[in-house]
Amino acid sequence: MPGAMPGAFYSFVGGNRGPWRIIEVRAVAGRSIEPAPRLEIVNENLHSLPAGALWLWRGVTSHQRYTHRTEQTALAAVQESPGRPEATCAALIPITKSAAWWALTQDERRAVFEDRSAHIATGLRYLPAIARRLHHCRDLGEPFDFLTWFEYAPHNAAAFDDLVGVLRETEEWNYVEREVDIRLVRDPAHPAP
Amino acid sequence: MPGAMPGAFYSFVGGNRGPWRIIEVRAVAGRSIEPAPRLEIVNENLHSLPAGALWLWRGVTSHQRYTHRTEQTALAAVQESPGRPEATCAALIPITKSAAWWALTQDERRAVFEDRSAHIATGLRYLPAIARRLHHCRDLGEPFDFLTWFEYAPHNAAAFDDLVGVLRETEEWNYVEREVDIRLVRDPAHPAP
């Protein structure tokens, strides 16, 4: 039952620590971020920047906002969770949507998101190769509205580029006012637990 | 554009301070709360219980989750905000919904919420008499999922009882596992600003 449990907090800390080496940072829309060599993901709601860290973003997993039952059934049949040993590549994509997006009503947002942009249907085509976890941040007063974490094996890196490329051409992306694409590789000295 | 701005945090503090006297507390579902003589509402995200206070709940206003455009247009034409001088009666109703609710998909929740329970249509019948502000708490890790604040003039108290009575008979309320109905009156020494 995804979403049935209260949300889990995750803190993303950029600095000199953590199993993920940041290999590329690209501002897709709006301004970029302060470069950091490594990322640590902590499964709790950190209230202050750890010593030596450069940035800290928090998000919470939550119930799904747009998915219908037929879509959820299709997703649940094939989706994978982060943490697979072979998934040594990752992307962290913080996104902020515009005031115009948030002023839309639920039916209007769903129409843009899926009826006209096929966000769910597109994502489904890349499962189970790409594992994904969405974190909501807007209601926490964070700088980004969403943090999405993706993990995949090196031979699926081209598929991942294809996925984000398709999404960025959609009507939904007209409402993205800030997006940073952060690519990472797992340090072999810190394999998946 | 309701919801277009980032959410505003509100902290509800039960204790010996504040302009609202708590005159009745009733556990509608699940356990009640610790009784407190007064309520203070602070328009910020308090991080710790103020000295002498008994409880502190936080919530954030946010974009609407179920409202369609035609409904939003109808609501916007008649709804009022809290703070009217004649609205000296209030209710604070904290609610937690069940895991079964949060496991529903968006289409299923909308069907229960409006198609079968007429939550929006029912509320609309009591506007502009009843002013309402909804605060989301679930993703903040708070004890309740929602805090709803209502204000009305004394001569509309029976209408308010009628409104909550109708909602509690709906299918949606099968998913409410905890609800506390807190009634308040404004201290004449602290009129609306």
Kindly report, residue by residue over A2-55, the tens digit of the pLDDT. Answer: 556 778 999 999 999 999 999 999 999 999 999 999 999 999 999 999 999 999
pLDDT at B2 > cutoff 80: no
Report the chain B residue with the minimal C-alpha distance to residue A138: B6
% of chain B surpassing 70 pLDDT: 98
Give tens-digit pLDDT for A42-67.
999 999 999 999 999 999 999 999 99
CB A114 within 8 A of CB A121: yes
Give tens-digit pLDDT for B104-123.
999 999 999 999 999 999 99
What is the spatial distance between Cα B163 and Cα A5, in angstroms, rounded to a whole number?
30
Which residues in chain A are closer than 8 Å to B9, comparing Cβ atoms?
141
Over the range A135-163, which residues count as b (16 or more CB within 10 Å of their CB) and which as e? bbbbbbebebbbbbbbbbbeebeeebeeb
Q: pLDDT grade, residue B193 (50/70/90)?
A: confident
Average pLDDT estimate for A92-97: 98
% of chain A surpassing 70 pLDDT: 98
Closest chain A C-alpha to B92 CA, distance in angstroms: 21
Closest chain B C-alpha to A125 CA, distance in angstroms: 20
Cα separation values, A101 from A61, A111, B76, B88, Å: 20, 12, 18, 36
pTM of the model: 0.95
Which residues in chain A are closer than 8 Å to B147, comparing Cβ atoms?
none
CB A14 within 8 A of CB A34: yes
Interface of A with B (CB under 8 A): 1-7, 9, 45, 47, 60, 62-69, 71-72, 99-100, 102-103, 105-108, 110, 136, 138-141
Report the chain A residue with the minimal C-alpha distance to residue B1: A103
Report the chain B residue with the minimal C-alpha distance to residue A70: B105
- Burial class, A117, CB count within 10 angstroms (exposed 0-12 / middle 13-18 / buried 19+): buried
What is the spatial distance between Cα B96 and Cα B98, in angstroms, rounded to a whole number?
7
Q: pLDDT grade, residue B192 (50/70/90)?
A: confident
Average pLDDT estimate for B78-101: 97
Task: With CB atoms and an 8 Å threshold, state whether A7 touches B141.
Answer: yes
- For this complex, say whether ipTM is above 0.90: yes
Give tens-digit pLDDT for B133-191.
999 999 999 999 999 999 999 999 999 999 999 999 999 999 999 999 999 999 999 88
pLDDT at A149: 98
pLDDT at B67 > cutoff 80: yes
What is the spatial distance between Cα B117 and Cα B103, in angstroms, rounded to a whole number?
18
Task: With CB atoms and an 8 Å threshold, state whether B99 touches A72.
Answer: no
Report the chain A residue with the minimal C-alpha distance to residue B144: A6
Phi then psi for residue A147, to 5 deg, are -125, 120
Interface test with B, best of A102, A108, A115 (most B CBs within 10 A): A102
Task: With CB atoms and an 8 Å threshold, state whether B106 touches A105.
Answer: no
Task: With CB atoms and an 8 Å threshold, state whether B103 touches A3.
Answer: yes
Interface test with B, best of A140, A147, A178 (most B CBs within 10 A): A140
Choose the closest CB to B99 out of A5, A64, A136.
Answer: A5
Q: pLDDT grade, residue B6 (50/70/90)?
A: confident
Phi then psi for residue B163, to 5 deg, are -60, -50
